[in-house]
Amino acid sequence: MSTREIKLEVDKEVARGRYANVAVIAHTKDEFIMDFALAYPGQAPLVGSRVITSPQHAKAFLRSLEDNVRKYEARFGAIGEPPRPPQGDN
């Protein structure tokens, strides 16, 4: 698989980034919607960023993220996973 370099321009506000400790992902037939939020104890999470993308780009993002997690773990060790909240019977 070939890797191509993409040069991006990032303005100062975007370059600061936004911390998120919650992500909510939904989809329609044509789009994936990813909300990244910051949750404080006792408060509803506040969405700081929303990304809407095509299913094809969502799948490419998933592969890229998996690749980067593998590289991270190879360098720094396994990443522990937090406990998952109980799932209701929906």
Looking at residue 82, what is its pLDDT?
82
Looking at residue 84, what is its pLDDT?
79
Start-to-end C-alpha separation, the chain: 40
DSSP string, 19-81: --SEEEEEE-SS-EEEEEEE--TTS--EEEEEEEE-HHHHHHHHHHHHHHHHHHHHHH-PPP-
- Could you read off the pLDDT of 50-88 as tens digits, one per residue? 999 999 999 999 999 999 999 999 999 999 998 877 776
- Domain segments of the chain: what residues? 18-76
